[in-house]
Amino acid sequence: MKIGKNLSPYVSVTKCLQQGDPLSPLLYNIVIEPMLKMIKENLNGIGYGNWKQKKLACDDDITIFIKDYEDKLNLNGIIKLFSNTSGAKVNDSKSEIIKLGNAVEINSFTGKINNGETN
């Protein structure tokens, strides 16, 4: 672990935080921040006029707004990179896709997207 400009002695991780531990929300925010930054920098999101939205994050819930197939591909890449780096995974049983307006069809959260063509 880097503390200031120095490296600390090796820290062996032997236990996880339990739900309800007061450190859980803070550590979650520290871990999830790089993914939220990648979403902010790499997705188009949705918008109207000057208003644009790419994500909403509150506690451990995240809502991500994608506009098109390019956003979907970028989001999949971000999730794969973040998952491979952090070990965190999307819980498909607690995740949902909601289609609004003239949106393209998405068959699953990490699956293929269908815009009238086979992808």
| Domain annotation covers residue 5 | no
CA–CA gap between residue 27 and residue 47 (Å, rounded): 31
Nearest to 31 by CA among 10, 62, 8: 62
If DSSP codes are grouped into helix, strand and coil, which group holds residue 6? Answer: strand
Report if residue 14 sits inside a domain: no
Is 1 a domain residue?
no
Looking at the structure of the chain, the number of domains it has is 1
pLDDT on residue 55: 94
In a domain, 86, yes or no: yes
What six digits make up the tokens of 39? 């979403």
User: Does the CA dihedral 29-35-38-39 come out positive or negative?
Assistant: negative
Domain for residue 6, yes or no? no
Strand partners, 66: none
Q: Is residue 33 part of a domain?
A: yes
The reply to whether 11 falls in a domain is: no
DSSP string, 50-75: TEEE-EEEETTEEEE---SHHHHHHH
Report d(CA 56, CA 54) in Å as an integer: 7
Residue 90's domain comprises 22-114
* 7 belongs to a structural domain: no
In the chain (119 residues long), the average pLDDT of successive 10-residue segments reads 81 75 83 93 90 88 90 93 89 83 59 49
